[in-house]
Amino acid sequence: MGIVTNILKDEYERLKRLEAQYLQQLKTFPKGAISKRQRSGTYYLYLIIRENKKVITRYVGKFDSDKAKKVIRQVEERKKVEEKLKKVQADLKELKRSLK
């Protein structure tokens, strides 16, 4: 059983490092959700953020601008990292139970 326990401990440590890496990555991405609104035939992009129980809408720019495309890409990437983080945290929880 010592070999299996060591393998599980190594995997646990690897997942902890991966979790820390994902948490660090999340700090670099903008928080919030994207909202696309139309005014006078032109689409604009807004970032909707919750701060202290308040919903704040921040203007990003015209929907087809480079800045808007960058924000959309970052929000999509953040969602992917959040999903990976959830998977890692679930695996950590399972490993923690196995190691007890």
State the sign of the Cα–Cα–Cα–Cα dihedral 79, 84, 88, 90.
positive
> What is the pLDDT averaged over residues 45-68?
93
| pLDDT value of position 1 | 63
Q: What is the pLDDT of residues 9-53, one digit of tens each?
A: 889 999 999 999 999 999 999 999 999 999 999 999 999 999 889
Whole-prediction pTM? 0.81
Count of domains in the chain?
1
The pLDDT-based confidence of 2 (bands split at 50, 70, 90) is confident
Q: What is the pLDDT of residues 78-94, one digit of tens each?
A: 999 999 999 999 999 99
